Structure formats: C-alpha cells, structure tokens
C-alpha cells in the first residue's frame, strides 16, 4: 500500500519531510524543508506534487514561514502571514488545493485573532497537521465511494499520478483501484507514461507495482490504440481544479484521453476531493493553465532530445469538458454526468 509522501517533524520550529519525487523510481530519498524558500522550491520543482499534496505542503509551508517570525502583535503577525501565503501562492497556478490550503491557514489565524501570537502559531501547526490527516480519510472515502465502478477483472487506464504520492495517502484515482483490490477484485492497470515529466512511468507504475497490482506501462500516444485493440473498461484520472460546471483540469494529455474514451464508448471518470473544486469559476475556460520550462520538453532527464533553440510550447495541464466525464467521484459522493446543479449539490452537501 502507498507510503507517506509528506509529514511534519517536530514542534513549531520543526521541518517538513517529503519524498523527493523527482528522483523516483531510481531512488527513494526523503528530504527536509527547513524554511519557506525550501518548500517553495520543492513545490515549484515537483519534488512534492499532485493537487492534494501541494495543498498540504502549502499549509505546512505557511508554518515554516511564520514559525520563527517575532511579530509584536496580531496585526504584524497577519502581515507576515499574508506575505508568506502570497509567496507560496506564486509557486504553481493550476492546482486550486494550493490556494485552498493557504486560505484555510489564513482563516484559522483570523478566527483566533484574540489569542497571543505564539499560541496562534501552534494552532496553525495543528491545522496543517489536521489538513494532512483529513486528506488521508478523504482519499479512503473517495476509494470506497468509487470502487463499485470497477468490476473484477477490469482493465483501467490512468494518466499522470493520482496515487498516494500525490496526496496524504492512498490517492484519488488510484484510491479506487486500491479499494477495489482490497475488496478482492483483481484489477489490471494501463499507466500512461505522461510526458514531459513522466509521472506515469516514474510514479504510478512504481506505486502500483509496489502494491502488487498488475500494471502495464504505455507511452501517451499508445492510449487510443490500446483502447481499440485491448480491453480497457474505464479511464480514471485525478484533477487539479474542477470548475462549477464539472469541467476538470488535470495533467496535459487528459483531455485527449477523454476524447479517445468517448470515441470508444469507454466511461471516463475523475476522482477528486471537494478541495479540488473551484465553484467561483463557472467553467473550465477560466482555469489558469501553468506553462513550464521549455527544457522539460527539449530534454529527458537531463539529456537533450531536440535541436538547440527550438520553439517549445509546454502547458502542464489541460481541461476536460464535463460532457466527456461520466462521473466525478468525491468523498461526498458520486456526481454522475456532471452539471452545475449536481456539482453544487454534492460539493456543498455538508456545508449548507
Ligand atoms: O504536475 P503535477 O505532477 O503536480 O500534476 C499532477 C496531476 O495532474 C494529478 O493528476 C492531479 O494533481 C491529481 S493528484 C491526486
């Protein structure tokens, strides 16, 4: 079963322990982020990655940012906190969990404004740890809610990594597969390699293999052919931000997969926690798409594979329209054939 990708070590002057995901599968190395710059760098360079894990890292990173600050009163403390959260917010633009985690930390500070600053710092540390623990439970719940969509002997195609490495534990898309397996259903998985940064081959294939799940690696451009020639029963992916109408941003290549799945009559599922929904955006057109360094396309693991000074376009995410999504699986329940109304009723189920 998956291993813990992020944890807080020590008290208020402690540090964040993460798996450096850029080194997998060659090396399972834990690194410590001791200050704000180090966790910012870890998020930016994908040492810690995947929407829910980014949200947890942002919350813990906030504690790194304010832990050692000597603010004289709440007003000064809030100024330091806002500087910290704005800095972390500039690390990556697409996964809304990042902004969700930062806002939750700000709201917690505001709710406790009457308390001494040193006490608020400890409350914030507790809040970051709670976010991590809640995420573990949420992932479990997503797995339980969605596993019934997988039948014994099914072949599932997945893209990027939405497993334990991308969350507090257990994953989102992979949670369905882990939960189905726990129920005694044998599942086979096709893992897309996921160019340019190979999260599928480096991380998903590694996680599934470690968990004893039958996994076959394919290059991204083999997915449509695999759907036509082999038995693919469903596609399950995670998400980085889901708009109010159910349009879902996920790793680049996901949109194309949804089109191929539709063409072959294969159900396409998205698994994500409520914290990945951005109800302030009416549709996916408004989701900001991160563009990353051209070198990720011109090089593979440090080796150049394209001519010098070639023009490059490197969007890290794309948006799958709701009409291509059969269901979104959340901890609150399943949203079948998502519409704005259905999204609101499931996501706000426990808030209204
Ligand atoms: O750039 P990454 O590796 O952070 O992108 C991750 C993804 O696209 C995942 O599919 C998504 O965050 C869901 S993780 C449960």
* Contact indicator for 48, 21 with CB cutoff of 8 Å: yes
d(C-alpha 331, C-alpha 287), whole Å: 22
* Res 267 pLDDT > 60: yes
pLDDT for the residue 350: 77
Average pLDDT over all residues of the chain = 97
- 75-103 pLDDT, tens per residue? 999 999 999 999 999 999 999 999 999 99
The CATH homologous superfamily to which domain 144-347 belongs is Translation initiation factor eif-2b; domain 2 (3.40.50.10470)
Give 2's pLDDT tier (boundaries 50, 70, 90).
low
Q: Does the active-site annotation cover 80?
A: no
Q: φ, ψ for residue 166 (rounded to 5)? A: -95, 0
* Res 239 pLDDT > 70: yes
- 8-48 pLDDT, tens per residue? 999 999 999 999 999 999 999 999 999 999 999 999 999 99
Neighbours of 89 (CB within 10 A): 15
Output the pTM of the full model.
0.97
d(C-alpha 213, C-alpha 188), whole Å: 7
Best mutation site among 47, 48, 51 for ligand 1, i.e. most ligand atoms within 8 A of its Cβ?
51
Q: Would you list the domain boundaries of the chain?
A: 6-140, 144-347
Give 79 Cα–ligand 1 centroid separation in angstroms: 31
- The CATH number assigned to the domain with range 6-140 reads 1.20.120.420
Task: Give the Å distances, CA to CA, from 121 to 12, 31, 63, 137, 260.
Answer: 7, 24, 7, 25, 49
Residue 172 Cα: closest atom of ligand 1: 15
Give 237 Cα–ligand 1 centroid separation in angstroms: 9
d(C-alpha 142, C-alpha 167), whole Å: 12
């Amino acid at each position: 079963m998956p291993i813990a990708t992020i944890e807080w070590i020590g008290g208020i002057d402690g540090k964040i322990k993460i798996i450096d995901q850029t080194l997998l599968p060659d090396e399972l190395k834990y690194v410590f982020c001791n200050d704000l710059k180090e966790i910012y760098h870890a998020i930016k360079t994908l040492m810690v990655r995947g929407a829910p894990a980014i949200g947890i890292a942002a919350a813990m990173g906030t504690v790194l940012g304010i832990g050692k600050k000597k603010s004289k009163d709440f007003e000064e403390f809030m100024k330091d906190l806002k500087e910290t959260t704005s800095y972390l917010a500039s690390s990556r633009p697409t996964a809304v969990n990042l902004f969700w985690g930062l806002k939750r930390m700000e709201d917690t500070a505001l709710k406790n404004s009457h308390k001494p600053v040193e006490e608020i710092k400890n409350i914030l540390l507790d809040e970051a740890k709670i976010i991590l623990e809640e995420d573990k439970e949420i992932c479990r719940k997503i797995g339980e809610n969605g596993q019934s969509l997988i039948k014994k002997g099914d072949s599932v195609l997945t893209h990027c990594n939405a497993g334990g490495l991308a969350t507090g534990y257990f994953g989102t898309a992979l949670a369905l597969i882990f939960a189905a397996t726990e129920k005694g259903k044998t599942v086979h998985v096709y893992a897309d390699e996921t160019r340019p940064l190979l999260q599928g081959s480096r991380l998903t294939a590694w996680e599934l293999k470690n968990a004893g799940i039958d996994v076959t690696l394919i290059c991204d451009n083999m997915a449509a052919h695999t759907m036509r020639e082999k038995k693919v029963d469903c596609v399950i992916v995670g998400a980085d931000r889901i708009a109010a109408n159910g349009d879902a941003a996920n790793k680049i290549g996901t949109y194309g997969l949804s089109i191929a799945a539709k063409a072959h009559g294969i159900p396409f599922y998205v698994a994500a926690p409520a914290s990945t929904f951005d109800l302030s955006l009416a549709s996916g057109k408004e989701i900001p798409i991160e563009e990353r360094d051209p070198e990720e396309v011109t090089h593979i693991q440090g080796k150049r594979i394209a001519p010098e000074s070639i023009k490059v376009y490197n969007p890290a995410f794309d948006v799958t329209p709701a009409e291509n999504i059969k269901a979104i699986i959340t901890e609150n329940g399943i949203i079948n054939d998502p519409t704005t109304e259905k999204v609101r009723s499931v996501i706000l189920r426990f808030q209204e």
